[in-house]
Amino acid sequence: MYAVGVYPLIRKCKDRDKYVQNWYADDSACVGKLQNVKHWFDKLIEEGPKFGYFPEPSKSYLIVKDVMNSAAHTIFQNVGVKIVDSHRFLGSIIGREEQKKKYVKEKVEVWIGCVEKLSQASEKHPQAVHSAFTKSLQHEWQYLQRVLNSDENDYCQLKEKIKTRLIPSIVDREVSPNEYELFCLPARLGGLGISDPTANVVHSYETSLKANEKLIAAIKSGTELNSNEHFNHAKIELNVERIKLKEREKNKSEEILNTLPAKTKRCLERSIEFKTSQWLTVLPTYSDRTDLTAIQFRDAIAIRYGHEPKNLPKTCDGCGASEFNLNHALNCKKGGLIKRGHDQHRDDVRDWSEMAWGPGIIEPIMKEATINEPALIGDLMLNSVWESGRKAFFDTRITNADAISNGSRTWSAISQSHSHEKHQKYDRAAEDLRASFVPLVL
């Protein structure tokens, strides 16, 4: 409504032969020769109040080159505007190169301070810090890189702070240069989504210019903007750059994976192929049960990259084995981890499914016990999943993909083997009940 209200004022002040004006909300600006800009400003002061717009000369800035400073003071004397050679404008800055460098440096110093505070907070809340950084803070300099033509060297100190302070505090260990490059990739490609602030400085600005060519031309010429043409052009340019960016990231991911230890490479390739990185990109909220403790989050990251979680007990509290590690914990039938993981997954599937298909039944009997055979019991039964009124049974299998016996097998082969075993066991009983059966292998 505000834009509609000031639109007549914008039209009244328009004179494409003398100057170029542009507006963003209540911020008005004009580019042209000094006399013409003075004429525009006088008209704005005269006509603005009629439309509820009250310019304040004391809060206005006239940006001129040094050689025009004297003329500017003469023409704008007694007006009250501040005459400068550089000043901020819509999140960017207009002026000399050294002033632009200074502006970026000041912003980088602020962001370095923010990274330090996040690093301190990540000692207790690594997941929340990771989410705040990837979904908020890093987008601040990404915006500046789109609107201001700067150099990647301007962001080197920020990069170093992220590399040596933030990431180690999140994962609770030192990271190698190779790991840093990996962590800067998107989660879907094996990274943590912590973008390198120096990586896309040039591409960001160039893409922004290309995407806004129609808008820039309309502002400069003073002609009416064809919004559909602008949006379509921007969409095409952004898609082209997005494809190029994805290709660069994919090539970099493959290059880094080939340099990693065999175990880490195997874990990440499985994660990339089967798209199991969503837990790193969701917001940690209590209501959705996506918030993790510091230990849970760091253990999950350690497992993702093929490392041993920290502070594991020396012996197994289930079977008493003296050499306890992650692999033993995932294999031991007496330790309780397999059973708890199985039941938690079953209950989570039930809770999510009930939102779509109504109440489910835990441990439904698919076949009654006989003298010679025990009862056949599934993990979960739901109604109308695949067909209206038809029951669907589910049974979960938790397996350790990195067990020694699976060392030479792909996850596809492992999951198909377990799936086949479940079908062999439950399919006949499901058919007798005129129901369907689905194994859940993970």
Give the model's pLDDT for residue 402.
87
Instruction: Tell me the pLDDT tens digit for each residue of 330-365.
Output: 888 888 888 898 999 999 999 999 999 999 999 999
Residue 40 confidence (pLDDT) above 80: yes
Share of the chain above pLDDT 70, in %: 100
pLDDT at 336: 80
Residue 218 has pLDDT above 70, yes or no: yes
Question: Mean pLDDT, to the nearest integer, of 399-410?
Answer: 87
Instruction: Report the run of H or E that residue 178 belongs to, with start and end.
Output: helix 177-183
Of the candidates 431, 425, 437, the one whose C-alpha atom is nearest the C-alpha of residue 394 is 437
pLDDT score at 335? 81
- Name the band, by pLDDT with cuts 50, 70 and 90, for residue 46: very high
| pLDDT computed for residue 333 by the predictor | 85
Q: Give start and end residues of each alpha helix (H) in 16-91.
A: 34-47, 69-75
Model confidence at 423: pLDDT above 90: yes
What are the residues whose beta carbons fall under 8 Å from the beta carbon of 37, sequence distance 6 or more?
19, 30, 31, 62
pLDDT band at residue 143 using 50, 70 and 90 as cut-offs: very high
Predicted confidence band of residue 1 (pLDDT cuts 50, 70, 90): low
**CA dist., res. 91 & res. 80, Å (int):** 24
Q: What SS3 class is residue 399?
A: coil
The DSSP secondary-structure symbol of 374 reads P
pLDDT of residue 395: 95
214 has pLDDT over 90 = yes
Spatial distance between the Cα atoms of 52 and 85, rounded to a whole number of angstroms: 30
Cα(168)–Cα(187) distance, rounded to whole angstroms? 17
Region 400-410: mean pLDDT is: 86
pLDDT of residue 404: 85
Task: Round to whole Å and give the CA distance between 410 and 401.
Answer: 8
Using alpha carbons only, give the angle 69, 41, 29 rounded to the nearest 5 degrees: 80
CB 33 within 8 A of CB 41: no
| Identity of the amino acid at 45 | I
3-state secondary structure 188-245: HHCCCCCCCCCCCHHHHHHHHHHHCHHHHHHHHHCCCCCHHHHHHHHHHHHHHHHHHH
Indicate the helix (H) or strand (E) that contains 441: strand 436-441
Q: pLDDT, tens digit, for every residue of 78-131?
A: 899 999 999 999 889 998 899 999 999 999 999 999 999 999 999 999 999 999
Amino acid at 374: P
Dist CA 90 CA 295 (whole Å)? 42
For residue 367, the surrounding DSSP H or E stretch is: strand 365-367
CA distances from 384 to 197, 381, 395 (A): 49, 10, 17
**Which residues, in sequence order, are CB contacts of 377 under 8 Å at separation 6+?**
363, 364, 365, 366
Condensed to tens digits (0 to 9), the pLDDT of residues 146-189 reads: 999 999 999 999 999 999 999 999 999 999 999 999 999 999 99
The pTM assigned to this predicted structure is 0.88
Going from the C-alpha of 23 to that of each of 19, 54, 253, the distances in angstroms are 13, 14, 43
Q: Give the whole-angstrom CA distance, residue 277 versus residue 271.
A: 7
What is the DSSP-derived secondary structure letter of residue 134? I
In angstroms, the CA 288 to CA 282 distance is 10
At 183-203, the pLDDT tens digits run 999 999 999 999 999 999 989
Q: What is the mean pLDDT of residues 415-442?
A: 94
DSSP label at 442?
A: -
DSSP 274: T
Chain segment 234-276, per-residue pLDDT in tens: 999 999 999 999 999 999 999 999 999 999 999 999 999 999 9
Residue 419 is predicted with a pLDDT of: 95
Contact 125, 292 (CB under 8 A): no
Burial class (CB in 10 A: 0-12, 13-18, 19+), 190: buried
Each residue's pLDDT tens digit, 277-319: 999 999 999 988 899 999 999 999 999 999 999 989 888 888 8
Beta strand pairing call for 436-441 and 391-397: parallel
Q: What is the CA radius of gyration of the chain?
A: 31
How sure is the predictor about 213, in pLDDT bands with cuts at 50, 70 and 90? very high
Helix (H, G, I), strand (E, B) or coil at 142: helix
